[in-house]
Structure 1
Amino acid sequence: MRTRRTLINMAYAVGSSLLLLLLGLVTRKLLVYNFGTQISTASQVVTQLFNFFSIAEFGVGSVISYRLYEQIAAKNAEKISKYMSMYKWAYRAVGLAIALLALLGAAALPWIMPDVPLATGYTVYALNVVSTLCSYFLVTRRLMYTCTQQGYLCTRIDFCFNVLTSLAKIAVSLWFPNYVLYFSVAIVCNVCANLVIARRFRKDFPYVHDVKVSLQDFKDLGIFHDLRYYLVHRLSNTIYGSSDTIVTARMGGSVQTTLLGNYTNISTSATDLGNKIMDSFAAAIGNIVYDKSAAANDHDKQVFWGMDLFSYLFGSFVATAYFCLFQSFMAAWMGEDWLLPMGFVLVFCLNEYVGWNHRMLGSYRAVLGHFEQDQWFMVASATVNLALSFALFPRFDITGALIATVVAHCIMWAGRVVVVFRRYMQGSMGHYLRMQLLHLVTLAACLGGTWMLCEAVPIQGWLGLVPRAVIVCIVPNLLNLVVYGWGSDAAYLRQYAAGIWQKLRHKRSA
């Protein structure tokens, strides 16, 4: 059942995300060309500001979700209902807190965006307030779908409304060039999607009821203890994800912020696609951990190493694809005038590699809880990110801010390693570190070898992307196959893939 649901989640996620990625490229280009860099910058900066405000969530969703996995495995309907009710009321309180933070944060807009007109900045800001608050008051039912590996049901609904949103934005950009209307259509479609999910929730989970909860319930379950520590994680993750845009807007202006936004827009869409694939496994990881409710046995360790290798293979491919295709794609999509230096692209690829390479390890870390054990790594990550961003930007521009992000990301990764190998994979950290050194060597070979072959392609524009894409699909995967293809971790992945294939054949024949 886990395998089947993982496959369904992945299939729906990949199919929908690919189409939305293409629509996103169209809407981004129309936003920049039809509304200008100031509107684009205001949108980017305000979005990242609200990411900062989201620390008011205190990580309540993550804390309750890893407890919910435990109760779903035990099939305890009473506690599932209680956790979901607590989740709903917690998010209502979070929504009110974010509304207050939004009022206080409005004063910072002129300082962060000095070259954006105040009226423009505050209008985009007000629209984001409405959008964010609607999400916090309506989104809570999605948690149950995620924890039961039925996220594909939400993906179906989201896909329809996201396509509608993109088409409406394209129409507004071309025929009714009004940025207020442009951002408003996203709010309306998002609210409608959440209302449809809420209606379906009552049919899919009839045993989940609203129950009365009190402040004492939160205390008795120890959630405040977890939230106190998880707040550090939440803050650090927020700084990591938002600092580049805000630092660039403050120190580089709207043109550089828009340049950065073009690159991050592509990577965000691609990351969303990758996350949908990885998230299909994440819920299964939660179920594996809490079904055992103890340290990993031999089979569980085999699963871990197989998933970790999968993360590396995915991360090395993504980094190589960005390194070899990003500039060519950007030139064909936006034009030569919108390119950032190749040094920026290299650092960007390293940051993507760090994230994807430990993605599965991060999923294990998330479901294990005990957030106090790596809180100081998270503090160090946030502090280094901010300090280095402001120190390096004057000399290296956007690339300097991104270097700071890579360093902070590595510190965050180190903390996750400590927790996973202390609480679940005891005695295996040495092997993990040796494998990471080998991964770095093979990553360098993938980047260098693929780059040299791609540079030999003389064709420019969209036609030139086709042979380069073929090279990117073949070379890094072939190199990784030579290095890792016959090890025990790869054997597990082959066995897992063979089992999936057999199930698909059996289902087709039936």
Structure 2
Amino acid sequence: MAYALASSFLLLLLGLVTRRLLVYNFGPEITNASQVVEKLFNFFSIAEFGVGSVISYRLYEQIAARDDEKISKYMSMYKWAYRVVGLAIALLALIGAAALPWIMPDVPLQTGYTVYGLNTISTLCSYFLITRRLMYTCTQQGYLCTRIDMVCTVLNYLARIAVSLWWPNYVLYFSVTIVFNVCANLVIAWRYRRDFPRVRDVPVTLADFKELGIFHDLRYYLVHRLSNTIYGSSDTIVTSSMGGATRTTELGNYTGIADSATNIGNKIMDSFAAAIGNIVYDKTATANDHDKQVFWSMDLFSYFFGSFVATAYFCLFQPFMLLWMGEQWLLPTSFLVAFCLNEYVGWNHRMLGSYRAVLGHFEEDQWFMVASATVNLALSFILFPLMGISGALAATVVAHCIMWGGRIRVVFRCYMKGSEAHYLRMQALHLVTLAVCMLGTAAVCSLLPGGIAGLVLRAVVVCLLPNALNLAVYAWGTDAAYLRSYALRILQTRRKQS
């Protein structure tokens, strides 16, 4: 986690520089094409059918049992499944090319198709090379991949900055990303053979997929995959088709920063994901008293993280955007409020989502996912003409809450039995403290001056005040006490190791 955080902050700074150069050196049309095509390929990723998630939660069980034969079988199935997925996405990319003039009406066709083609190559390279990463994730060694990605991503950013400044050619700009993505995956593939010598390529057939129940899980998980994809891509696609290139670029400036910040947050939260999988499958299927204590402590940590992120965006986003991109790129306060609420919902139930992911039982909440996707699309098209981008994002918040409800259903039916009422009471308390944190911190920040000095002062206030308010409310409970003891054990272990 520590390594990932340090590297992610550097990548965040490089990403800010790269985004500004993209907008100002290549213009809204290229920027819009880049954003929309990226979201389109997120949509095409439904062809993955969730095979990675289905195999990963089964892999946790075999890693706990140290069954090398089953591990090798699952990893070989994963590799061959992703090759089929790559071919399916190539086919979807050919079909989807016909929709570009409708989705990007104010982008020249040649520009749109060129960016689209380069993104197709980049995506397909990932699907054919990325499968080795799964073992590192499931064995809590994801930091090894992070190190390799860090080097290649820094080189990628530096190359794109150089292209933007001295050779402003958008084909070259997007091509360097392909080169460094391939290099990172090839290095990880080389290391994988050294780190996991007992995991071998073994023959697999369709009968193996049926025997191990993979097709059964995929049938239900496909609904989750499709709904998640619609949820994650609809804002950009709706904005592009109804609002044009400039509006999409404005949205992308905000979501681009959020994506970089999310990458940092993911490094923190993903550090716990494999441990959660090991906890769930190391004992019985139902949580005992200790497991419940771990769950409530992790859930409180999620709230601390989510409330801090929402407050930081609420108080810092507009001043930062003013300094970074200029006043002409600011979006209204209504958008900012919806954006902060959506971020809070996501981060606040992130640990719950990790438990949900490793439990399986995808049939339990499939209709919540269907409702989430349907509401997101329908409300986006209804609210965008009335409220603009703010309306599209408000629809996303509603859809995200429906998705959250489905995850609550699975975790508290299948693992944390009998605790759902307590969870809902805690979430009600969290909403009250979130409002106090956001409004109280914003009131203090409004007294500070503008400019770079004011932004720095606001950042200091955001780091101190909301966390102090949360500690004043929650620090006295058993969940916070467990978090303190957990952190102390980690520090003691690190001292012994050093």
Same fold, TM-score > 0.5, yes or no: yes
Q: Counterpart amino acid of 2:17?
A: V
The match for 1:419 is 410
Structure 1 position 129 matched with structure 2 position 135 = no
Matches of 2:6 and 2:48, distance apart in 1: 31
Matches of 1:303 and 1:132, distance apart in 2: 37
64, 71, 83: which one aligns with 2:55: 64
252, 259, 274: which one aligns with 2:250: 259
Matches of 2:471 and 2:188, distance apart in 1: 42
Structure 1 position 431 matched with structure 2 position 422 = yes
Structure 1 position 500 matched with structure 2 position 484 = no
Range that drifts further, 11-20 or 251-260: 11-20
Instruction: Give the SS at the match of 1:139.
Output: helix
Structure 1 position 143 matched with structure 2 position 134 = yes
Matches of 2:490 and 2:125, distance apart in 1: 39
Structure 1 position 286 matched with structure 2 position 302 = no
Structure 1 position 274 matched with structure 2 position 265 = yes
> How many residue pairs get matched?
498
The match for 1:343 is 334
The match for 1:207 is 198
Matches of 1:94 and 1:245, distance apart in 2: 24
Structure 1 position 45 matched with structure 2 position 40 = no
Structure 1 position 462 matched with structure 2 position 452 = yes
453, 475, 496: which one aligns with 1:485: 475
Q: Deviations over 1:205-236 (max 9, x none)?
A: 00011000000000001110100000000011
Trace 1:24-173 onto structure 2 (pairs within 5 A): 24-173=15-164
The match for 2:303 is 312
How far apart are 1:461 and its partner, in Å? 2.0
The match for 1:471 is 461
Q: Deviations over 1:161-219 (max 9, x none)?
A: 00000000000000000000000000000001100000010000000110000000000
Q: Counterpart amino acid of 1:363?
A: S
The match for 1:442 is 433
Stretches of 4+ moved more than 6 A in 1? none
How far apart are 1:463 and its partner, in Å? 1.7
How far apart are 1:501 and its partner, in Å? 1.8
Instruction: Give the SS at the match of 1:49.
Output: helix
Matches of 1:222 and 1:386, distance apart in 2: 32
How far apart are 1:505 and its partner, in Å? 2.5
Two-structure CA RMSD over aligned residues (Å): 0.5
How far apart are 1:498 and its partner, in Å? 1.3
211, 215, 219: which one aligns with 1:224: 215
TM-score, L = length of structure 1: 0.97
Matches of 1:18 and 1:185, distance apart in 2: 22
Ranges in structure 2 where 5+ consecutive residues have no aligned partner: none
Structure 1 position 379 matched with structure 2 position 370 = yes
How far apart are 1:497 and its partner, in Å? 1.0
Matches of 1:410 and 1:417, distance apart in 2: 11
The match for 2:224 is 233
How far apart are 1:504 and its partner, in Å? 2.3
How far apart are 1:30 and its partner, in Å? 0.1
Matches of 2:157 and 2:28, distance apart in 1: 20
Instruction: Give the SS at the match of 1:137.
Output: helix
The match for 2:347 is 356
Instruction: Give the SS at the match of 1:177.
Output: coil
Matches of 2:345 and 2:118, distance apart in 1: 34
How far apart are 1:500 and its partner, in Å? 1.3
Q: Counterpart amino acid of 2:35?
A: Q
The match for 1:3 is none
The match for 2:395 is 404
Matches of 2:490 and 2:242, distance apart in 1: 51
Matches of 1:210 and 1:354, distance apart in 2: 41
Matches of 1:305 and 1:507, distance apart in 2: 29
Matches of 2:494 and 2:150, distance apart in 1: 25
Matches of 2:385 and 2:123, distance apart in 1: 33
Instruction: Give the SS at the match of 1:140.
Output: helix
Q: Counterpart amino acid of 1:504?
A: R
Instruction: Give the SS at the match of 1:116.
Output: coil
Matches of 2:261 and 2:29, distance apart in 1: 25
TM-score, L = length of structure 2: 1.00
Instruction: Give the SS at the match of 2:400.
Output: helix
Range that drifts further, 496-505 or 367-376: 496-505
Ranges in structure 1 where 5+ consecutive residues have no aligned partner: 1-9
Identity %: 79
How far apart are 1:12 and its partner, in Å? 1.6
Matches of 1:210 and 1:429, distance apart in 2: 43
